[in-house]
Structure 1
Amino acid sequence: MFKHIKDSQITISELMRPMHSNFSGKIHGGYILNLMDQIAFACASKHSRHYCVTASVNKVDFLNPIEVGELVTLKASVNYTGRTSMVIGVRVESENIQTGETKHCNSSYFTMVAKDNNGKNAPVPGIILDSKTSIRRFSRSIALQKLDKNRSNEFNASEFQLKDNLHLIENQNAKIELNNNL
């Protein structure tokens, strides 16, 4: 079974209040991450028609601060479907509701896994790629999975070779002081 991406896309908006701010008066990044996880869950569950859990979150860069009083809009879309997992793209924008100025605050990719009523992984419908953007996003997800797997294997504790990686530390803000036990 295959479904159109648009059928599970979700958009939510929320006014940022003082209770959401950190010590510097900006909206707390943890609060935004919580909202992102919620919308990723909703999008994945809507697509799969199953309860879903967050397996991983790809890099989150906070590009612009969010101010108290701004309207934050989160958009979620299924970018990739595997057998039981989905990559959900989440975009966060904020709007100054007095001036109408909007800014892109961050984007991230959540890998969500569908679960059946017994807690076992459940198959998910595939997605119909009907635009250049959807093909780009699907392809990007495949490429990121390969990079993650290679990175995990390369730096696996049992496989890590010290001599092969010392060059990475050169010209960095670090000092190596190894004891004789290594």
Structure 2
Amino acid sequence: MVKIENAVTLLMISLGIVGYIETQKITGFAFDSLGSKAIPEGVSILLILIGLLVLSSNIYQLWKGKTDETLPASSEKALEANEPVELSGFARPLAIVILVILYISAVFVLRWPVSVMTMAFVVMSATLLPMPNRKQGTIYALIAGLVVGVGIELIFTQFFFVDLPTLW
């Protein structure tokens, strides 16, 4: 599992580097206060920094001799211990695709508030992932969902003046 995670992390770092290099070719426009290169440049830098953080954490865990064997047991053991059953194989990606379709429908067709729907999407997506401590992971997902949901709504409605369905 760590090898796959490291490979994906290196891919994201590479994507961030390529994105950053390509954004240097973008020229600014006079009508845009941020310029057209600020957002992709910032996202590229964030990709690189987060990738380096994840990679350094994985290297540290390998150096300490820890692995990710602390993940929850199989579904049969989970049923015996009265723990939630986790989706595996094809079911997890299918569930995430369904969540994405529901999210897009709720926000852009039904026009439900972006902050609420984003928070719900983040929490439900996180619960599909394997977690060593489900209660703590769900609390973290709620916090992340709240920050991301409200943040997206504020940034797009107040700074970029995009007409999104909001709570206010």
TM-score, normalised relative to structure 1: 0.25
Q: Which has the larger share of strand?
A: 1
**Greater relative contact order (Cα 8 A, min sep 6): structure 1 or 2?**
1
